[in-house]
Structure 1
Amino acid sequence: MKKQNHGAKKPSRPLSFVAEHKDTLLPFLLEQVKGKSRNNIKNLLSKRLVQVDGKTVTQFDHPLRPGQTVSIAPIRAKAEPSLPFDLLYEDDEIIVIDKPAGLLSIATEKEKNLTAYHMVTDYVKEKNKQNRIFIIHRLDKDTSGVLMFAKTEESKHSFQDNWEQIVKLRRYLAVVEGVPEKPSGTVRSFLLETSTHLVYSSSDGSGKEAITHYQILKSSEEYALLDVKIDTGRKNQIRVHMKDLGHPVAGDKKYGGSGSPMRRLGLHAIELKLIHPVTGQELCFTAKPPKEFKRMFPAQQK
Structure 2
Amino acid sequence: MKSFQLNWVIDAYDSGKLVVNFLKEKQLSKRALTDIKFHGGDIRINDEHVTVRYKLKEHDLLTVIFPEEDRGASLEGDPYVPYSIVYEDDHCLVINKPANVPSIPSRDHPSGTLANGLIYYYEQKNIPSTIHIVNRLDKDTSGLMLVAKHRFAHSLFSTQQKKKQIHRSYEAIVHGAVRLSEGTISKRIGRKSDSIIERVVTEDGQEAITHYNVLSTSKELSHIKLVLDTGRTHQIRVHMASIGHPLCGDSLYGGRMDHIQRQALHSSELTFFHPILLKELSFSLPLPNDMKSML
Q: TM-score, normalised by structure 1?
A: 0.67
Note the alpha carbon deviations across 1:95-115, whole angstroms, 9 max, x for none.
111101001011111322210
Distance in 1, matches of 2:257 and 2:164, equals 37
Residue in structure 2 matching 1:271, options 264, 269, 272: 269
Residue matched to 2:286: 288
Residue matched to 2:19: none
Residue matched to 1:17: none
Deviation at 1:221, TM superposition (A): 2.1
Q: Percent identity?
A: 36
Deviation at 1:258, TM superposition (A): 2.8
Distance in 2, matches of 1:129 and 1:279, equals 19
Cα 1:173–1:292 shift into 2, 3 Å: same
Note the alpha carbon deviations across 1:181-238, whole angstroms, 9 max, x for none.
1111000111111351211111x3x221111111111122211100111111111000
Distance in 1, matches of 2:127 and 2:180, equals 53
Gaps of 5+ in 1: 1-80, 298-302
> Is it true that 1:148 corresponds to 2:146 in the alignment?
yes
Larger radius of gyration: 1
Q: Secondary structure at the match of 1:270?
A: strand
Distance in 2, matches of 1:131 and 1:138, equals 18
Conserved 8 A contact 1:252-1:260? no
Distance in 2, matches of 1:119 and 1:216, equals 35
Gaps of 5+ in 2: 1-78
Note the alpha carbon deviations across 1:39-60, whole angstroms, 9 max, x for none.
xxxxxxxxxxxxxxxxxxxxxx
Give aligned pairs, total: 215
Opposite residue 167 of structure 1, the aligned amino acid is: Q
Deviation at 1:264, TM superposition (A): 2.3
Q: Secondary structure at the match of 1:103?
A: coil
Conserved 8 A contact 1:83-1:123? no
Distance in 1, matches of 2:251 and 2:82, equals 28
Residue matched to 2:179: 181
Deviation at 1:166, TM superposition (A): 6.2
Opposite residue 108 of structure 1, the aligned amino acid is: S
Cα 1:282–1:129 shift into 2, 3 Å: closer
The Cα RMSD (Å) is 1.8
Cα 1:82–1:186 shift into 2, 3 Å: same
Deviation at 1:125, TM superposition (A): 1.8
Residue matched to 1:200: 200
Residue matched to 1:249: 247
